[in-house]
Chain A
């Protein structure tokens, strides 16, 4: 079985500042890892994913996440945030070989202030 812990429920940050959203997971098997973003009144959208290969993965809008197996973490970072990045961010894990079921964390609300 897998579980996900997002350590911060809310992260306030000023525009153009860097940000890190933390995610830790537990699993007895190898995993795939994901970050999803949910803008107000919308469904979740995939932001980035780690399946294999390079442990650093990037999104098209400047976010990146690094898979750290020894620390069982998959933290999300952005060097300079914009107002439009205000949203809720969900970390998710799936055990390899299962039926595609994702286990989501509780979510972190990123509040970007002008």
Chain B
């Protein structure tokens, strides 16, 4: 399996521009998570989906952030308009939640976003 795929790996944009980050989870996984990592705040959960449905978006910083999962194999995280404080590494992770305990999340390589 190719693992969790994220694109782009690096994104440099100017303040005010729209940014879209993409994620392809591992085939067969039914949970998807978006995280943000910064030196100051560490690893923060932004939003997660179960079976393509958003379950908890309480970590989304503000209305400028939105996430979608139109099908089981694709998700996007959009920032509009972007601000310099959004600069961070954004990770996507997926897992399979069945009847038994698992909760193991598989992380993608991340997208390093720089907003100037």
Q: Which residues of A contact B (CB under 8 A)?
A: 32, 34, 36, 42-46, 49, 51-52, 90, 94, 96, 99-107
In the complex the two chains form, is B107's CB within 8 Å of A94's CB? no
Complex CA–CA separation, A101 to B56 (angstroms): 9
| Contact A100:B91 (CB < 8 A) given known A32-B101, A90-B43 | no
In the complex the two chains form, is A51's CB within 8 Å of B43's CB? no
Cβ contact of B50, chosen from A100, A103, A105, cutoff 8 A: A100
**Interface residues contributed by chain B, number (CB under 8 Å):** 24
In the complex the two chains form, is B48's CB within 8 Å of A99's CB? yes
**Interface SS of B by simple majority:** strand
Tell me, rounded to whole Å, the shortest Cβ–Cβ distance linking B59 to chain A: 10
Is B82 close to A, CB under 8 A?
no
In the complex the two chains form, is A104's CB within 8 Å of B109's CB? no
Is B104 close to A, CB under 8 A?
yes
In the complex the two chains form, is A52's CB within 8 Å of B101's CB? yes
Task: Please indicate the chain B residues that have their CB under 8 angstroms from the CB of A42 in the complex.
Answer: 109-110
Complex CA–CA separation, A104 to B44 (angstroms): 8
| Contact A46:B55 (CB < 8 A) given known A100-B97, A101-B48, A104-B43 | no
Additional 18 contacts, C-beta under 8 A, given A100-B97, A102-B33: A32-B103, A42-B109, A42-B110, A43-B91, A43-B93, A44-B93, A44-B105, A46-B105, A52-B101, A99-B55, A100-B102, A101-B33, A102-B45, A102-B103, A103-B45, A104-B42, A104-B43, A106-B42
| Contact A100:B42 (CB < 8 A) given known A43-B109, A43-B110, A44-B91 | no
In the complex the two chains form, is A107's CB within 8 Å of B42's CB? yes
Task: Please indicate the chain A residues that have their CB under 8 angstroms from the CB of B4 in the complex.
Answer: 43
Q: Which residue of chain A has its CB nearest to the CB of B44?
A: A104
Is B75 close to A, CB under 8 A?
no
Tell me, rounded to whole Å, the shortest Cβ–Cβ distance linking A96 to chain B: 7
Tell me, rounded to whole Å, the shortest Cβ–Cβ distance linking A50 to chain B: 10
